[in-house]
Amino acid sequence: MEENKKVKQGSQNMREFTVNEYLTLKLEKDETIIYVAGEKFEQCKFLLLEIRVTETEFLDKLESIDEAAERLDASLEPRGGRKNIIPPDVEFWGHCSDLQVWYEQDYNTRLLHRNLAFPLLKALADAGDPKAKRNFKEEIGKRFSSNFGSVIEYLLEENYLFYLEQEELEVLSSLLSNETKARVVNFIQRRLEKIQGDANQRNQIYDHLSILCNEEDLKQIEYVEYEGTKYFVINKRLAIPNVKKIGDIKGLSSLVNLEGLYLTGKSYFKEHQINKIEGLEHLKNLKVLDLSVNKISEINGLDNLGKLEILKLESNNISEIKGLENLKKLKKLHLSNNLIIELKGLENLKHLEKLYLDSNKITEIKGLEELSNLNMLSLSYNNISEIKGLENLCELEQLYLDNNQIEEIKGLDSLKDLKLFYLYKNKIKKIECLENLENLEDLNLGYNMISKIEGLSKLKKLKGIELEYNNILEIEGLEGLYNLEYLGLTDEEYDEAELGRFILN
């Protein structure tokens, strides 16, 4: 042992072994601790494998300790709550021996498990160890070009390739097998999928690691470019925020297998908003199109999107519903917060299930006769004065008519499947015409002019009633509503236990 490699004997539970001025091991309370430049190094450091005599013949053929760990019985490693069967003193000297040899072999990462070798080498380099600083990048290149799968995956997952400069990556690429290059492409795809909404980070990963890949393999990773930034297709979906003009998205028309396109704007970023639907004619497999929060005034350019199931156009400047004739598979249509006055242009949407038209200028419910599959209709915050035009909506389960000008409850006889009915903030004076709603569970009539609780006796499945801010002075009319769990009034809220005395009367 060199002169500067000294063992210090402390108390019975304390020993210290110095590898060099940057690397020390201590046995503290029967646990081996590694120190780098005097700082505790937190890392898994189990190094010892149980190697039977009959198995030592193939050790010379192994690429590294990583391969040995996968091929041999690592039964000495503590796991599942099992205590280490190696005496602490023996384990300490095993670690000391391994790290001593590792240092003498110029920090050859083949001699330690990857989970320890690379983090420890990086820590030593950061601490100023000249040998570690000299060999760190070289070891990354050597091990990555070894074609040993688990090491390659580790270096990718732990971002060690980002320590290499472009020129170094280009040299490394020339040493890689096609199998390893394909593995890098697969990793890029997985990493891009994990990143949520950060285009810059996705660009950095792609631009850095794509240097290692074959161009043909990279074609698996689809992307478009907008204003100098790449936006990647993730799980057949593409999202680009704050687009000014769809036609400026380079490569969009080539994404013929795209299923989801999200081009939403921001209300405070009006100079970056779309005012025209265009350039979508080749996206024939599109199922979801989101153009919310833009400046679109006319619905057009959708004729070829026959497979579209969800269309989101809320918060635009649309005044007329049209251009939807070919969207016969559409299931959800979002048109809230626009300038729509009249309900029309929906007759071909026979598969429509959910229709959102809140915050428009609609005065009359009509034009819904063909929407027999509709199960949710939202017309809140409009100027509707009368409930009508719902006769054919026999599948309807949710109806939102709050914040309108409705004075009378009527026109609901066909809605036998209705479960939720919101009519708050209207001008209702009397609870009536609800007897056919035998499946109703949630009724909200708050902020009206109701003075008496009545007309509820046949609503046996009713669970909650909201009647706050009305003119009700007496709790009555709840007899027989055995499923009622909640009653909301202006000054009181009654839960299921408190309601019992009213229900049973």
Lowest mean pLDDT among 7-16, 39-48, 307-316, 435-444: 7-16
Q: What is the DSSP string of 35-101?
A: EETTEEE-S------B--GGGGGGGGG-S-HHHHHHHSB-TTS--TTPPP-S-HHHHHHHHHHHHHH
Confidence of residue 491 (pLDDT cuts 50, 70, 90): low
Give the DSSP H or E segment for 142. Answer: helix 130-144
Q: Is the confidence at residue 163, as pLDDT, over 70?
A: yes
Domains and CATH numbers, the chain: 7-160 (no CATH), 164-221 (no CATH), 233-362 (3.80.10.10), 365-505 (3.80.10.10)
Kindly report, residue by residue over 217-228, the tens digit of the pLDDT: 999 999 999 999
Helices 178-194 and 199-209: angle between axes, nearest 10 degrees? 170
Total Cβ atoms within 10 A of residue 449: 13
User: Nearest CA to 490 among 450, 446, 452?
Assistant: 446
Contact 362, 341 (CB under 8 A): yes
> What does the H/E/C string look like for 281-303?
CCCCCCCEEECCCCCCCCCCCCC
What local confidence, expressed as pLDDT, does residue 272 receive?
82
User: Nearest CA to 170 among 143, 137, 209, 221?
Assistant: 209
Compute φ and ψ for 84, nearest 5 degrees: -65, 130
Mean pLDDT of 338-358: 98
Whole-model pTM: value is 0.85
In the DSSP assignment, the letter for residue 113 is -
Give the DSSP H or E segment for 239. Answer: strand 237-239
Distance CA 402, CA 377 (A): 12
368, 372, 376, 381: CA torsion to nearest 10: 10
What local confidence, expressed as pLDDT, does residue 84 receive?
56
pLDDT averaged over the chain?
89
Q: What is the DSSP string of 388-424?
A: -S-TT-TT--EEE--SS------S-TT-TT--EEE--
Bridge partners, 33 (sequence order): 26
| Number of residues that make up the chain | 505
What local confidence, expressed as pLDDT, does residue 30 receive?
86
Contact 355, 333 (CB under 8 A): yes
Alpha-carbon dihedral sign for residues 149, 96, 55, 44: negative
Pairing of strands 229-232, 223-226: antiparallel
Kindly report, residue by residue over 73-122, the tens digit of the pLDDT: 444 455 554 455 678 888 889 889 989 999 999 999 998 889 999 999 99
Distance CA 472, CA 474 (A): 6
Alpha-carbon dihedral sign for residues 132, 138, 139, 141: positive
Cα Rg of the chain (Å, integer): 35
Distance CA 209, CA 219 (A): 14
Distance CA 116, CA 48 (A): 12
Distance CA 281, CA 289 (A): 13
User: Nearest CA to 431 among 451, 461, 411, 406?
Assistant: 451
In the block, tokens 């040995």 appear at 68
What's the distance, CA 79 to chain centroid?
32
Q: Is the confidence at residue 7, as pLDDT, over 70?
A: no
User: Nearest CA to 153 among 126, 124, 182?
Assistant: 182
Confidence of residue 130 (pLDDT cuts 50, 70, 90): very high
Confidence of residue 72 (pLDDT cuts 50, 70, 90): low
Those residues whose C-beta lies under 8 Å from the C-beta of residue 213, and which sit 6 or more positions away, are 173, 181, 182, 184, 185, 188
Contact 162, 140 (CB under 8 A): no
Kindly report, residue by residue over 172-183, the tens digit of the pLDDT: 999 999 999 999
Q: What is the DSSP string of 352-380?
A: --EEE--SS------S-TT-TT--EEE--
176 torsion bin: left (phi>0), alpha (psi -120 to 50), beta (else): beta
Structure token digits, residue 4: 């500067």
162 class by beta-carbon count within 10 Å (0-12 exposed, 13-18 middle, 19+ buried) = middle
Mean pLDDT of 179-197: 93
Mean pLDDT of 338-366: 98
Q: What percent of the chain has pLDDT over 90?
A: 76
Distance CA 429, CA 307 (A): 45
Mean pLDDT of 341-369: 98
In the block, tokens 């009368």 appear at 386
What local confidence, expressed as pLDDT, does residue 8 receive?
61
